[in-house]
Structure 1
Amino acid sequence: MAATTTIERDVVIAAPASTILPHLADLHRWVEWSPWEGRDPDLHREYGGEPGAVGSTYAWKGNRKAGSGDMVVRRVEPHDVEIGLRFTAPFRSSNTTAFRLHEVPDGTRVVWTMTSPVTVTSRIVGLFMNMEQFVGGDFEKGLARLKALVEP
């Protein structure tokens, strides 16, 4: 089995999973909370498939800050969304990102995970950048935006 690296962050949102899930599964709605929104005001977006359904897609192409890539929804269940995430620029990588929703006394704990293969490129990038802190910080920002969007 190939070596992988995993980055994970979580937040508790005072709302039921059924209220949160559409914001995660429908890729059109990511513009409302994604930590990467605003990096390129001229970002080109392209969507495909039925919003919020398995097989729906989102592709983007932007400036150096936004990069380019695509996502495909692989699984949507009441407490689980899995997305295939592929970057094509500024570097190439294929990842799996998942959201797990766990009911807790104060609402729903949302766990955002990204699993990536360890490659030569990721090892080189790792020499210059702490991906755990870099991507983890983006996840924290995105989850905070999602929480602010969803909570009453």
Structure 2
Amino acid sequence: MFKKILLVLLVLIGAFAIYVALQPDEYRVERSVTVAAPAGAVFGNVDNLRNWEAWSPWAKLDPDAKVAFEGPEAGKGAAMTWDGDDNVGAGKMTIVESEPDKAVNIQVTFTRPFEGGTNSDFSFTPKANQTGSDQTEVTWAMHGTHNFMEKAFCVVFNGLGMMGNDIDKGLSQLKSVSEQS
């Protein structure tokens, strides 16, 4: 009886490992929101990392996290490091490309609770509504590659779904902050 249970368990583990291995190495999670504000107002809230505290989906998870800034205040080369509790871990984000009122590309590196990284891209597309008021479509995409363990985490804990939920929350808060300015 024990051997049968062990055999079934090994088959299940093997099937899970095969399923995980067949998942794509590359991932991309993208969401958009329309903000009732000009592109410049929204862009400034993303391009200046000091402004992230007001809208980032992760900022309130650990209000006691140690945050430091490096490089220029905004734009290419601006960087922010954080070191917090298990909810936010530790890492660094660096703006690697910034095109005023159009795009911001950020490299994110995690050092704790696990080592890894992702790319975080924002685009800002001006739009006019029916009354002619300025609006901006903001698209936030996170993308990169997963190793086997990261793919297993995403399968077990719906990691990409959680990432999408965080992006949605961040965009909602960015919309609120940008429309108030």
Partner of 1:130: 158
| Aligned counterpart in structure 1 of residue 62 of structure 2, from 36, 40, 45 | 40
- In structure 2, C-alpha distance between the alignment counterparts of 1:127 and 1:73, rounded to whole Å: 30
2:139 matches 1:111: yes
- In structure 1, C-alpha distance between the alignment counterparts of 2:63 and 2:39, rounded to whole Å: 31
Query: Does structure 1 conserve the Cα–Cα contact (< 8 Å) formed by 2:75 and 2:95?
Result: yes
Identical pairs, percent: 30
- In structure 1, C-alpha distance between the alignment counterparts of 2:38 and 2:158, rounded to whole Å: 34
Q: Which amino acid aligns with 1:17?
A: A
2:176 matches 1:148: yes
Query: Does structure 1 conserve the Cα–Cα contact (< 8 Å) formed by 2:25 and 2:145?
Result: yes
CA-based RMSD = 1.4
| Aligned counterpart in structure 2 of residue 18 of structure 1, from 21, 40, 49 | 40
Query: What TM-score comes out, normalization by structure 1 length?
Result: 0.94
Query: What TM-score comes out, normalization by structure 2 length?
Result: 0.79
User: Which runs of no fewer than 5 residues in structure 2 stay unpaired?
Assistant: 1-23, 130-134
Cα displacement (A) at 1:60: 0.4
**Count of paired positions:** 151
The structure with the larger Rg is: 2
- In structure 2, C-alpha distance between the alignment counterparts of 1:41 and 1:67, rounded to whole Å: 12
Cα displacement (A) at 1:105: 2.4
Stretch moving more, 2-11 or 111-120: 2-11
- Indicate the SS of the match to 1:151: helix
Partner of 2:8: none
User: Which runs of no fewer than 5 residues in structure 1 stay unpaired?
Assistant: none
Q: Which amino acid aligns with 1:37?
A: A
